[in-house]
Amino acid sequence: MLDGLPVTPYERMTDNMLLAIDVGNTNIAIGVYRGKALIGNWRMTTIQNRTSDETGMFLVSILGHAGILPTDITDVIVCSVVPPVMHSMTNAIKKYIRKNPIMVEPGVKTGINIKYENPREVGSDKIVNAVGAVRRYGTPVIIVDFGTATTFCAVNKKQDYLGGIICPGIKISAEALYDKASKLPRIEIVKPKHIIGRTAITSMQSGIFYGFVGQVDYIVGRMKEEMAEDNIKVVATGGLAKLIASESRTIDEVDPLLTMEGLLTIYEMNKPVSP
């Protein structure tokens, strides 16, 4: 669907369509590209015991809502940090979309040189984000992903993935306060009007919001010192990226579709060659 209009049969005949899926710990992000244009994107909750039929019917349903048939899909690419989900996800794609998905895993071309001591330890989502950031913003670049965990990744001018930092995520931290401190309530994560809170809720909101702003700015500052390169771009992605970036001094760009861009780029490097 483009601009709210369903895909026409003529468009189906002339354009390749890629189904891109990012399986995260909290959510599964789904996007469809027609050529290089992202024509639809959706999210579903990550549930480890969901069956392949449930997953497949969900995929067919959201595609159908956008006027896209399973037969319109040319290829599928998947990255995942949740191994228990992948059996049902892979079977769902094969059964309902009738494609063998390209998996972002060791051996797949990415254009990124991974300098981790054990490259297999790097989550595929981090590599996909790095690929997307390099494509859109060039190098050197630091990627901050506000997901279940807050992660920081560094890519130098040579497109070397140097490594990064993994911290507890914002929502995990807020839930930990609620779970472990009996008198503290569950809160909405927002930017408070004042840094000094005058209620339990505003005090917690201030601690979470400004605490993570400070964390981001400090860590990014230290990463830049260690990278020792000029003009390092800092790109943020993930659900709360825009909120934290509103106060951060170091975040240059907020890109909620960075992972989708990375998946498209990796697909273009690895897509099957037509006979």
Residue 267 lies in a domain: no
Catalytic residue annotation: 125
CA separation, residue 75 to residues 61, 69, 102, 259 (Å): 18, 13, 8, 17
Q: Are residues 252 and 163 in the same domain?
A: yes
- 5-9, 57-61, 172-176, 178-182 — most confident range: 57-61
Query: What is the CATH classification number for the domain harbouring 97?
Result: 3.30.420.40
| Residue in this structure with the two tokens 């992903």, named with its chain if needed | 145
Residue 275 lies in a domain: no
Q: State which of 78, 103, 128 marks the end of a domain.
A: 103
| CB of 233 closer than 8 Å to CB of 142 | yes
Going by C-alpha positions, the residue among 55, 49, 61 that lies closest to residue 78 is 55
Mean pLDDT, the chain, rounded, equals: 92
pLDDT of residue 11: 45
133 three-state secondary structure: helix
The tens digit of pLDDT for each residue in 17-70 reads 999 999 999 999 999 999 999 999 999 999 999 999 999 999 999 999 999 999
The tens digit of pLDDT for each residue in 68-94 reads 999 999 999 999 999 999 999 999 999
Q: Give the domain range for residue 146.
A: 113-262
Q: Using CA atoms, how far apart are residues 141 and 159, in angstroms rounded to an integer? A: 9
Q: Using CA atoms, how far apart are residues 150 and 208, in angstroms rounded to an integer? A: 13
Determine the length of the chain: 275
15 residue type, one letter = D
Going by C-alpha positions, the residue among 108, 101, 144 that lies closest to residue 126 is 144
Residue 241 lies in a domain: yes
Question: Which secondary structure element, helix H or strand E, spans residue 79, and what is its range?
Answer: strand 75-80
Domains: count for the chain:
2
Inform me whether the pLDDT recorded for 2 exceeds 70: no
29 residue type, one letter = A
Q: State which of 51, 82, 103 marks the end of a domain.
A: 103
Going by C-alpha positions, the residue among 220, 219, 257, 251 that lies closest to residue 235 is 251
> Any idea of the CA torsion for 77, 270, 141, 234, to the nearest 10 degrees?
-20
Q: Are residues 117 and 227 in the same domain?
A: yes
The tens digit of pLDDT for each residue in 110-166 reads 999 999 989 889 999 999 999 999 999 999 999 999 999 999 999 999 999 999 999
